[in-house]
Amino acid sequence: MAAMLQCCSAAGLIWHREAPAPECRGRRRVAAVRCSSGAAFPGEKVADAAAAATARYAARRSAVRRAEGKRLVEPLRLGNMAADWMSYKERFVVRCYEVGFKKTATVGTIANLLQEVACNHVLHLGSTGELAVLPNMRKLRLIWVVSRMHIEMYKYPAWSDMVEIETWYQGEGKIGFKRDWIVKDSATDEVIGRATSKWVLMNQDTRKLQQLNDEAREVYLVYGPRTDRLAFPEKNNDSLKKIPKLADPAQYSRLGILPRRADLDMNQHINNVTYIGWFHESMPREIIDTHELQTITIDYKRECQYEDAVDSLTSIEFAEAGNRNGTATTKPRDQEFQQFLHLLKLSATNLEITRARTKWRKLVH
């Protein structure tokens, strides 16, 4: 016990009162122990207080080690805030395992990089590290949930190419936030992709949407542009178009898809990028082989849990007025562009999970 107290005292975690006054001699001795934060525990036994102080010291050392680790990692991360702190840029090298059979990055890779740069952006703003959760959100048990995602890729990077992604966010409505991205080829500075998304806050315990009060909201918005800055400034661009619900029965389907444990994110629900792969499962092979995905828009309707089986449905969407989902009048592979509607639903209840629209361009060999 004496050694423990000496250790804590040397670390500056506790202090003891002077020797007791003569009139106090003979009584049970106690010590007033104070932690480094200044909180006192009058009347607490020395052993209990010393153990508490030691635990606090260990916590402080752990925090110091995490900070040191972060300091070592930062130089390796090829990202930084803009001079005005209104956006964040980061560069990424495309790895061999991020490339598909067409020898270019997959749309899943692009979506993962968008998510990565968004999380790193919030880390720079003081996130707790819990999937871009800021301290004021953590106190309220709030997490981010994506409600809509739109990605357009004009050119996919190949293995070992370096891309630079810029991202920023703005408020939208009472409970919503908007995040945009610009994807560039680092070698040429050419814009090869753009994306936009809408996010809402959900209570982690009740799983219900929740809004921040004005004060807490302002803490987050202080690092977002005050005037609209849009990745898609064009009027009537594809990111604004509504997605109709796919008519049943669909032309193509893949039933009973089972989530993997690897599909769960830090918030214990299916990662939003996983759904993109599930849409591909019901795509006709002739399109996958001869086209590449140019545009994808996803509306997220409800959560999917690890135990849920999922049905993936797909049908051609015709551009001509009056046409509906149904049998194609020409073979899909004969057209330069093909557009599809998608639906993911729970196998057991037929409840809708997500709906999507994809546009595919014919590969040029």
Q: Where are the beta strands (DSSP E) in the chain?
A: 79-81, 88-93, 142-153, 162-172, 176-185, 191-203, 252-257, 291-300, 310-316, 337-346, 352-362
- 120 as an active site residue: the answer is no
Say if CB 82 and CB 150 are below 8 A apart: no
Set 35, 150, 304, 325: catalytic member: 304
- 291 as an active site residue: the answer is no
- 269 as an active site residue: the answer is yes
Set 112, 120, 136, 267: catalytic member: 267
What is the number of other CB atoms lying within 10 angstroms of the CB of residue 357?
22
- Which among 183, 210, 215 has a CA at the least distance from the CA of 199? 210
What is the number of other CB atoms lying within 10 angstroms of the CB of residue 128?
13
DSSP 75: G
Set 8, 119, 150, 269: catalytic member: 269
- Which among 305, 294, 254, 261 has a CA at the least distance from the CA of 277? 254
What is the number of other CB atoms lying within 10 angstroms of the CB of residue 336?
9
Q: Which residues are catalytic?
A: 267, 269, 304
